[in-house]
Every structure is written in C-alpha cells, then in structure tokens.
Amino acid sequence: MFAIPVLAEGNPTALSPGSVYVIPIQKEIQKGLVYIVRRGVKDAMENNASALVLDMDTPGGEGEAMKEIMGIVAKFQPADRTFTYVNKEAFSAGAFISAATRHIWMAPGAIIGAASPVTLGQEGPKELPPKFVSGFAAVIRAAAEQNSHNPAVFDAMVNKQAGLKIDGREIVAKGDILTLTTKEATQQVGRPPKPLLADGVAESLESLIEKHVQSGAKIVRVNPTGFEQIGRFIVSISPLLLAAAFLFGYIEFKTPGLGIFGVLAAACALVFFFGHYIAGLSGYENLLLLGLGVALIAAELFLFPGTFFLGLIGLGLLLFGILNTMVDRYP
C-alpha cells in the first residue's frame, strides 16, 4: 500500500498527471467485445495507467461474455482506480459490469438496472428459472461487495423477489425489478446519508476525468481495431450465417456435383462457429490477408480450375495485404 498525492481539495480521486485508459462498452455485450476489453486492460497495466474508465452505453447482452469482461476488469490494479461512466444506458449485463468497478458515475439523464437474466426464444424474452436467477444475483452481489457498493441495490436489479428498503424507505417493491435514473442513483439514503449507487453526475467523460479521476491526465482511448470490429459484426449477423449455411447445404444436396454450394455452406458454418475469434487476431491483419490470398489462388489452381472468381478475390487480397504492409501509420 502506498500514498498518492491529492491535487484537488475535496477530491480524493485526483492524481498527478498520467495516463487514464478509456475502454468503450458500447452496444450489445457479446464475445467480440471481450477481446477489446482484454487488450485495453492489458495495455493499461503494461503502461502503468493510473486509472481505467469504462465508457458505457449498452442495452445488455450475453451472460458469458459479461462474466469474462467482469473478470478482466477486476484484474486492473489499483482496483480503487476503476470507473464506470454510464452514458447513457447500463441495462442488464451493463449493470453487472458496472458493479465490477469501484466508482460509478452517471451522465445527465442516464439509466442503470433492469438486470434480470432472460433467454431469447421464438416467443421473445423469457425469464430464467429461479435457480439461475439466484446464481446471477450472487455474481453481481459478489462484485458489488468487492467494490464497496451496496449489494442489496444490485440484487434488486436482478431478482424481482428481493425488493429494496433502506431505513424503512421502500426503494422498489418485491415483484418489481430495480432500474435507476441519474437522480435516483445519486440520491442520498441511509444514516449517515450516502449515495444510493453512483458517486455523482458528470456532464461528459472529459469532465469526469478532469474533475474526479485525474486532473491533467493524458486520455488513452482504446478504439476497436479492424479485426475487432469485424469480429463484433460477425457475431451480430450469426443467425443469418447459420441460415445461409443450411440453405447452401440444402442446395448442394439437391444439385450434387457442383461443389460450390457445399464450399459456401462450410464457409458460413465456420464463420458462424469461429468468427468471433477473428477479434483475437488484432495486429495480424496483413499476415492473414496474405495467407488467405495465397490460399484462394491455390484453390483456384488446384481445386476449382476455371472458376476465376476465387483467383481474382485471392489476388485482390494478396495485393491489398502487400500494399497495406507498406503504409506508415501514426497514432
């Protein structure tokens, strides 16, 4: 444990100038986002960042991806220098991830909560059985306890049977799921009074960092790389890929001998099952383009001679990869 000098009077989280890493938690929480968060936290720790801020605006998403992200964020040290800026939504999985940071700040008009786990089917969202809800509630309570939040507040966001009363004041009744606005999340409750959930309100991300995280900080934004964006896009269209795989497989079965529809079916299936791993190849884009170009040209020459389009695509990828390696890039 070591002491850190305080620059701003009455502001215990202000530090001397240094780097603050900002990781976007935007749109749907899914596997592709895990790679972005993992890279961001790794870079922040390797470069001795003094704080980590999650810039959050999400409707929620996948439970497994959410838990992975929570685990990754929890590895950042010092743990009391982790922040979530809710700008403007932290629904469902977003609320869980917020609980994994020590400080939560709200943008004006922001919302956090509605974190009851559901499964999606043909009939729309459906609540999970009580034992699964109990398990997820324990996950968010544990994260809240670890980061000095009131676990009962987060429990009420997940378990509608929990309800929430503080000093006899009913915050949410049993049978309802807790969702908080900025005003509600920052209201003073209890004895002695303290914020219900969030530390306070910040007009913007930059204002939050300057006034409450680290005055004069160098802000390092962890932007998704090309492969990470592709990985997230693939996950978003995965139902279409699966449908295309079945369609091409059916056509191949009905018209044996062509082969091309079988190749397309296999390609769609491979992308469906392994597409999100593309995000993990960030930094190897040009090498992969070169390899894929050579593979397509080889397929044209030895497997499908005379089709031409495989060779043309392969040649295009090969040339693009070569040219891309010759281009200087600046931060």
Percent above pLDDT 90 for the chain: 53
Q: What residue ranges do the domains of the chain occupy?
A: 19-221, 226-325
pLDDT of residue 104: 98
Cα atoms in the Cβ-side hemisphere of radius 13 Å centred on 11 = 17
Q: Lowest-pLDDT range, 10-19, 109-118, 183-192?
A: 10-19
What distance lies between CA 38 and its chain's CA centroid?
Answer: 10
Tell me the pLDDT tens digit for each residue of 187-244: 999 888 899 999 999 999 999 999 999 999 999 999 887 777 777 788 778 888 888 8
In single-letter form, the type of residue at position 82 comes to T
Whether residue 276 is predicted with pLDDT greater than 80 in this model: the reply is no
pLDDT of residue 324: 59
C-alpha dist (Å) from residue 286 to 203, 319, 327? 40, 10, 11
pLDDT of residue 264: 77
The reply to whether omega before 331 is within 30° of 0 (cis) is: no
pTM of the model: 0.74
Whether residue 14 is predicted with pLDDT greater than 50 in this model: the reply is no
For range 26-42, the mean pLDDT:
91
Residue 44 phi/psi, 5-degree rounding, is -60, -45
pLDDT of residue 167: 84
Confidence of residue 120 (pLDDT cuts 50, 70, 90): confident
pLDDT of residue 288: 66
pLDDT of residue 248: 81
More confident residue, 123 or 284: 123
Percent above pLDDT 70 for the chain: 79
Partner residues linked to 327 by β-bridges:
none
More confident residue, 222 or 321: 222
For range 132-141, the mean pLDDT:
95
More confident residue, 253 or 185: 185
CATH of domain 19-221: 3.90.226.10
CB 86 within 8 A of CB 56: yes
Residues in Cβ contact with 60 at an 8 Å cutoff, skipping those fewer than 6 apart: 28, 29, 91, 92, 93, 94, 114, 115
Whether residue 148 is predicted with pLDDT greater than 60 in this model: the reply is yes
Q: Lowest-pLDDT range, 47-61, 113-127, 152-166?
A: 113-127
β-pairing, 111-113 with 200-201?
unpaired
More confident residue, 229 or 300: 229
> By CB neighbour count within 10 A (0-12 exposed, 13-18 middle, 19+ buried), where does 234 fall?
buried
For range 132-156, the mean pLDDT:
96
